[in-house]
A and B are shown apart, each in its own frame.
Chain A
Amino acid sequence: MDDPGLPERHFRNSGIPTVTDERLRQVSPLRRALVRPELGAICGAILVFVFFFMIAGDSGMFGPEGVQNWTVVSAQFAIIAVGACLLMIAGEFDLSVGSMIGFTGIVVAILSVQWGVPTWAAILIAFALSMAIGALNGILVIRTGLPSFIVSLAFLYILRGLTIWLSILTTRQTIIGGVRDAAEGDWLAALFGGVIFKGFFQWLGDIGVIDTFSRGTRAGQPVVEGIPMLVVWAIALIIFGHILLTRTKFGNWIFAAGGDAQAARYVGVPVNRVKILMFMFTAFCASVFAICQVMEFGSAAADRGLLKEFEAIICVVIGGALLTGGYGSVVGAALGALIFGVVQQGLFFSGAESSLFRVFLGTILIMAVILNTYIRRLITGERG
Chain B
Amino acid sequence: MTETQPIIEMRDIEKHFGPVIALNGVSFDIRAGECHCLLGDNGAGKSTFIKTMSGVHKPNAGEILFEGKPLKFDSPRDAMEAGIATVYQDLAMIPLMSVTRNFWMGREPEFRFGPLRFIDFKKANRITMEEMQRMGIHLREPEQAVGTLSGGERQTVAIARAVHFGAKVLILDEPTSALGVRQTSNVLATIDRVRKEGIGVVFITHNVRHAHAVGDRFTVLNRGKTLGTAARGEISAEELQDMMAGGQELAELEGSLGGTV
- Chain A interfacial positions (CB closer than 8 Å to B): 2-6, 10-11, 16-21, 24-25, 27, 243, 247-249, 251-253, 255-256, 259-260, 262-264, 266-269, 322, 326-327, 376, 379-382
B213 x A6 contact (CB < 8 A) = yes
A4 x B91 contact (CB < 8 A) = no
Please give the distance in Å from A312's CB to the nearest CB on chain B.
Answer: 22
B185 x A381 contact (CB < 8 A) = no
Q: Tell me, in angstroms, the Cα distance from A24 to B150 when the chains sit together.
A: 11
Q: Tell me, in angstroms, the Cα distance from A382 to B104 when the chains sit together.
A: 23
B105 x A3 contact (CB < 8 A) = no
A266 x B210 contact (CB < 8 A) = no
Given A2-B209, A11-B192, 15 other A-B contacts at CB below 8 A? A3-B209, A6-B185, A27-B140, A249-B108, A252-B101, A256-B94, A259-B94, A260-B94, A267-B106, A268-B77, A268-B107, A269-B105, A379-B148, A380-B95, A381-B145
Residue B125 CB within 8 A of the other chain: no
B147 x A379 contact (CB < 8 A) = yes
Contacts known (A3-B184, A18-B138, A252-B101); A263 close to B148, Cβ less than 8 A: no
Please give the distance in Å from A383's CB to the nearest CB on chain B.
Answer: 10
A18 x B101 contact (CB < 8 A) = no
Please give the distance in Å from B93's CB to the nearest CB on chain A.
Answer: 7
Selected contact of B80 from candidates A10, A253, A268, CB within 8 Å = A268
Q: Tell me, in angstroms, the Cα distance from A256 to B100 when the chains sit together.
A: 12
Q: Tell me, in angstroms, the Cα distance from A11 to B214 when the chains sit together.
A: 9
CB-defined A-B contacts under 8 Å, sample of 27: A3-B181, A5-B210, A6-B185, A17-B136, A18-B133, A19-B136, A20-B138, A21-B153, A24-B148, A247-B118, A248-B117, A248-B119, A252-B97, A256-B94, A259-B96, A260-B91, A263-B93, A263-B94, A267-B106, A267-B107, A268-B77, A269-B106, A322-B96, A327-B96, A379-B147, A379-B148, A381-B145
- Residues in B with CB closer than 8 Å to A263 are 91-94
Q: Tell me, in angstroms, the Cα distance from A209 to B150 when the chains sit together.
A: 58
- Which of B80, B138, B214 gathers the greatest number of chain A CB atoms within 10 Å? B138
Q: Tell me, in angstroms, the Cα distance from A11 to B190 when the chains sit together.
A: 10
- Chain B interfacial positions (CB closer than 8 Å to A): 76-77, 80, 88, 91-97, 101, 104-108, 110, 117-119, 133, 136-138, 140, 145, 147-148, 150, 153, 181, 184-186, 188-189, 192-193, 207, 209-210, 212-214
A18 x B210 contact (CB < 8 A) = no
- Residues in A with CB closer than 8 Å to B147 are 379-382
B93 x A19 contact (CB < 8 A) = no
Closest to A247 in B: B118
A256 x B184 contact (CB < 8 A) = no
Closest to A27 in B: B140
Q: Tell me, in angstroms, the Cα distance from A352 to B181 when the chains sit together.
A: 63
B95 x A3 contact (CB < 8 A) = no
B94 x A264 contact (CB < 8 A) = yes
Q: Tell me, in angstroms, the Cα distance from A248 to B124 when the chains sit together.
A: 12
Q: Tell me, in angstroms, the Cα distance from A243 to B118 when the chains sit together.
A: 9
- Residues in B with CB closer than 8 Å to A326 are 94, 96-97
Q: Tell me, in angstroms, the Cα distance from A260 to B102 when the chains sit together.
A: 11
Q: Tell me, in angstroms, the Cα distance from A172 to B241 when the chains sit together.
A: 82
- Residues in A with CB closer than 8 Å to B118 are 243, 247-248
B136 x A4 contact (CB < 8 A) = no
Selected contact of A266 from candidates B91, B181, B192, CB within 8 Å = B91
Q: Tell me, in angstroms, the Cα distance from A3 to B183 when the chains sit together.
A: 10
- Residues in A with CB closer than 8 Å to B117 are 248-249
Selected contact of A25 from candidates B76, B140, B213, CB within 8 Å = B140
Contacts known (A259-B94, A380-B147); A19 close to B110, Cβ less than 8 A: no
B88 x A266 contact (CB < 8 A) = yes
A267 x B105 contact (CB < 8 A) = yes
- Residues in B with CB closer than 8 Å to A269 are 105-106
- Which of B91, B92, B117, B212 gathers the greatest number of chain A CB atoms within 10 Å? B91
A259 x B106 contact (CB < 8 A) = no
Please give the distance in Å from B55's CB to the nearest CB on chain A.
Answer: 11
- Residues in B with CB closer than 8 Å to A4 are 181, 209
Contacts known (A21-B150, A252-B101, A264-B105); A5 close to B209, Cβ less than 8 A: yes
B186 x A252 contact (CB < 8 A) = no
A18 x B137 contact (CB < 8 A) = yes
Q: Tell me, in angstroms, the Cα distance from A269 to B92 when the chains sit together.
A: 13
Q: Tell me, in angstroms, the Cα distance from A215 to B78 when the chains sit together.
A: 75
- Residues in A with CB closer than 8 Å to B209 are 2-5
Please give the distance in Å from B150's CB to the nearest CB on chain A.
Answer: 7
Please give the distance in Å from B27's CB to the nearest CB on chain A.
Answer: 27
